[in-house]
Amino acid sequence: MRYVVGRVLSAIPVLLGVAIIVFLILRLIPGDPATLILQGTEITPDRLAQVRAQFGLDQPLPAQFVVFIGNIVRGDFGYSYLTSSPVSSELAQRIPSSLGLASGALIVALAVGIPAGILAGVRPNSFIDRVMTGVSVLGIAIPYFWLALLLISVFAVNLRWFPALGVNGINALVLPSIALGLGYAAIITRLLRSSLITIYQQPYILVARAKGLSESRILFRHALRNGISSSITMIGLQIGNMLAGAVAIEVVFGRPGIGYYLVDSVNKRDIPAIQAIVLLIAVLYVVINIIVDILQGILDPKVRKDW
Amino acid sequence: MTQGTLITAPVLPSVRRPARRERSFVLRHLGALVLVAASVAIVVVVAAAPLIAHFSPIDVVGPARTAPNGTYWFGTDNLGRDVFSRTLFGGQQTLAIAAISIAVATFIGVLIGVVAGYFSGAGSMTLMRLMDVLLAFPTMLLALVVIAVAGSNAQTLTIAVAIAYIPTFARVVFGSTRRIRSEDYILAARVVGCSTLRILYNHVLRSLFVEIIILASSALGWAVLLAAGLSFLGFGVTPPDPEWGASLSAGTAYINNAFWMSAAPGVAITLVILITNLAGDRIAAWWQRTGR
C-alpha cells in the first residue's frame, strides 16, 4: 500500500509540469494570443481589449495559470476558437471512438505478441523461432500508416471483408486495430522471446525440471510469470506512443477520434483544442504508467522494495 | 519511466550453439557486411539522386498513373511525375530531416545528461525533472506541440523531431553518467589533477561513446518514422517538394489503381528502419560480447 501511495504521489510534480507546458503553448506562439483568437475576423483595438479581458490575457502570467488549472480541474477546457463550442463537449464526443481503437490495438498487440513470443522463446533458433523473429523484425520496421493502407487495399477493397472507412460497429474497428497494434505485437514478441531465453537458463528452471514438473507448468507457472514483466513495462511505455500513433490511423480510416481532432486543430491553430488534447493524452500516459508500475509490484515483490 | 518513449531493441541473449569450424572473415561477418553495404547503398543512391534519376522529381514527365515499366521504373503518380525520381529526391528530404534532428538531439541530450549526471545540485535536479515532464509526452505529441507553436515547414519539422528525442537521450545518458561517476578511474583522474572538462570529455564521454552510438542508430530509424508520419499528416515539407511521408499520403487515394505511388516510399521507409534497427542490435550485441 505504501508503494501504491508513493508511486501516485511521485507523479504529482510531473503532472504539474505537464500542465505548465500545456499552458505555455498559447504563450509561446509568436505574436499576441488575442490576435490569434480573433483570426479571420476584423481586428480592432476595442475588440482586442475585449478579448484580452474575456480570456484573462490582461492578467499576469501566474494568475492566468491559476485560473487555467482551476478551469481544467472543473473539466472546462475553454471554447474552440473556430466553432465557439466548449472543447470539453467536442472531446467527449470523440473519446469513445479513440478508446475503442486503443483497446483494439492493445488486444491485437497482446493476443499476437504473447503467443508469438512464447513460441519463439521456448525453442530458440528453431525454425518457428526464426520465422517469428523474422516477421517481428519486419513488423517493427513497417510504418503503421503504410500498413494501414495495405490492409485497406487487401481486406477492404479486394476481399471486402471489412469496411475501409467509418466507425460503424465492431467490424470497422478490426483493420485500424491491426494496423496500430501489429508493430507493438512485434515488440512484445521480441522482448518476451529474449526474456524467456534468459529465464530458461536460470537454475530455478533446472530445479523445476528436476522436480519432474511438466513443461507447460514450468512455462506458465515459473518462466512466464517472470518473463512477462518486462513486456508489461514496455507496453506501459508504449501506450503513450500508441495513443499518439492513433492520430495517423484515425486520419487514414476516417475515424473522428481525438487524434483526428488534434490534426485538425493544429492545422487550424485552434489552441484551446490543442491544449485539451495534449493534456488529455499526457495525463493518460502518466496515469497508465502508474498503473503499470503498481501491476509490476503485484507481479514481482522485488519491485516494491525500491519504495 | 526509465528509458523514455524510444523503442530501444532488447539485447538478444546469446544461445549456445554447437561448435563450428572456423569460417572465413566474410562468412563470419556476413550479416554486418550486408548491413554496412545496404546503408552505404541507400545513402549513395539518395545523395546521387540528380545523377541517377532521369527525370525531374517535380515536373510532369509522362501520362498520369503509368504502371512501372522500362522508362518509369517505379511508375508515375496521379499527376504524371516520375515516382522513382520522387522517391530518390524524397529520400534526401526525409533522411536529412531525420539525420539533422538526431544529430541535434544527440548533442543537446548528451550535453544535458552528462552535465546533470556528473554534477549534483539543484540545477541538475531541475533539468532532469524538466526532462521527466517532457518524457510524459509521447514523441509524436511533443513534435506536434512544437509544430503547433512554431508553424509547419521543413525547418520546424526538423526542430520538432529533435526536441521530441532530446529527453530520451538526456535520460539514458544521465543514468549512465551517474553510474560511472563514482567509478575508480574517474576518482583516479581527479586525484592526478585532471580538470573537470578533461574528465567529462576524456573519461565520461568516451566510455559512453558506444552506448550513445547504439541509441542514436536506432533513434535514427524512429526519427525517419516520426518525420515521415508527421509529413504524412500534412505537416512539414510543402508540396510539390517530394518527401517519403508526403508521397505516401498522396498515394492513399490511389491505393487501388496506382499502388506503386505509396509502395515506393513505404518500402523505402521500411528498409531504412530495418537497417537502423538491425545495426543498433548488432552493435549492442557486439558491445555486450566484448565486454565494456
Give the model confidence (pLDDT) of B51-68 as tens digits: 887 777 877 777 777 778
SS3 of chain B: CCCCCCCCCCCCCCCCCCCCCCCCHHHHCHHHHHHHHHHHHHHHHHHCHHHHCCCCCCCCCCCCCCCCCCCCCCCECCCCCEHHHHHHHHHHHHHHHHHHHHHHHHHHHHHHHHHHHHCCCHHHHHHHHHHHHHHCCCHHHHHHHHHHHHCCCHHHHHHHHHHHHHHHHHHHHHHHHHHHHCCHHHHHHHHCCCCHHHHHHHHHHHHHHHHHHHHHHHHHHHHHHHHHHHHHCCCCCCCCCCCHHHHHHHHHHHCCCCCHHHHHHHHHHHHHHHHHHHHHHHHHHHHHHHCC
pLDDT for B77 equals 78
Q: Provide the percentage of residues in chain A whose pLDDT is more than 70.
A: 95
B237-257, pLDDT tens digit by residue?
877 888 898 888 888 888 888
Fold of A94-269: MetI-like fold (1.10.3720)
Q: Is A137 within 8 Å of B274 when comparing Cβ atoms?
A: yes
Residues of chain B with C-beta less than 8 angstroms from the C-beta of A285: 136-138
Residue A179 contacts B where some CB pair is shorter than 8 Å = no
pLDDT-derived band at B99, boundaries 50, 70, 90: very high
Question: CA–CA separation, A196 vs B206, rounded Å?
Answer: 33
pLDDT for A157 equals 79
Helix (H, G, I), strand (E, B) or coil at A57: coil
Best to test chain A binding among B255, B274, B275, B288 (most A CBs inside 10 Å)? B255
Q: Could you give phi then psi for residue B178, rounded to 5 degrees?
A: -55, -40
Q: Which of B23-32, B110-119, B204-213 has the least mean pLDDT?
A: B23-32
Residue B121 contacts A where some CB pair is shorter than 8 Å = no
Q: Is A248 within 8 Å of B133 when comparing Cβ atoms?
A: no
Nearest CA in chain A to B268: A142
Can you spell out the DSSP letters for A229-271? HHHHHHHHHHHHHHHHHHHHHHHHHT--SHHHHHHHHHHHT-H
Residue B15 contacts A where some CB pair is shorter than 8 Å = yes
B186-200, pLDDT tens digit by residue?
888 888 888 888 888
A23-68, pLDDT tens digit by residue?
888 778 776 777 777 766 677 788 778 777 777 777 788 888 888 8
pLDDT for B17 equals 58
Question: What is the mean predicted confidence (pLDDT) over A273-296?
Answer: 86
pLDDT at A306 over 70: no
| B256 to chain A, closest Cα gap in Å | 6
pLDDT at B19 over 80: no
Q: Is A248 within 8 Å of B148 when comparing Cβ atoms?
A: no
pLDDT for B101 equals 96
The average confidence (pLDDT) of chain A is 83
pLDDT at B143 over 60: yes
Q: Is B255 within 8 Å of A153 when comparing Cβ atoms?
A: yes
Q: Provide the percentage of residues in chain B whose pLDDT is more than 70.
A: 91
Range A196-216 burial, b when 16+ CB lie within 10 A, else e: bbbbbeeeebeebeeeeeeee
Question: CA–CA separation, A188 vs A153, rounded Å?
Answer: 27
| B255 to chain A, closest Cα gap in Å | 6
Residues of chain B with C-beta less than 8 angstroms from the C-beta of A191: 10
pLDDT for B3 equals 37
Question: What is the mean predicted confidence (pLDDT) over B88-103?
Answer: 92
Residue B235 contacts A where some CB pair is shorter than 8 Å = yes
Q: Is A149 within 8 Å of B145 when comparing Cβ atoms?
A: no
| B136 to chain A, closest Cα gap in Å | 6
Residues of chain B with C-beta less than 8 angstroms from the C-beta of A247: 140, 144, 233
Question: CA–CA separation, B83 vs B103, rounded Å?
Answer: 29
A90-145, pLDDT tens digit by residue?
888 888 888 889 899 999 999 999 999 999 988 888 898 999 988 998 988 999 99
pLDDT at B33 over 50: yes
Question: CA–CA separation, A127 vs A113, rounded Å?
Answer: 18
Q: Which of A141-145, B1-5, B85-89 has the least mean pLDDT?
A: B1-5
Question: What is the mean predicted confidence (pLDDT) over B5-23?
Answer: 56
Domain limits, chain A:
2-73, 94-269
A218 or B108, greater pLDDT: B108
Cis-peptide, bond into residue B240, ω within 30° of zero: yes
Kindly report the pTM of this predicted structure.
0.86
Q: Is B274 within 8 Å of A141 when comparing Cβ atoms?
A: yes
Residue A182 contacts B where some CB pair is shorter than 8 Å = no
Question: What is the mean predicted confidence (pLDDT) over B76-85?
Answer: 81
Residue B144: burial class (beta carbons within 10 Å; 0-12, 13-18, 19+) = buried
Residue A205 contacts B where some CB pair is shorter than 8 Å = no
pLDDT for A305 equals 55
Q: How far apart are the first and last CA of chain B?
A: 25
Nearest CA in chain A to B137: A282
| A181 to chain B, closest Cα gap in Å | 15
The average confidence (pLDDT) of chain B is 84
A169-192, pLDDT tens digit by residue?
777 888 999 999 999 999 999 889
B103-125, pLDDT tens digit by residue?
999 999 999 999 998 888 888 88
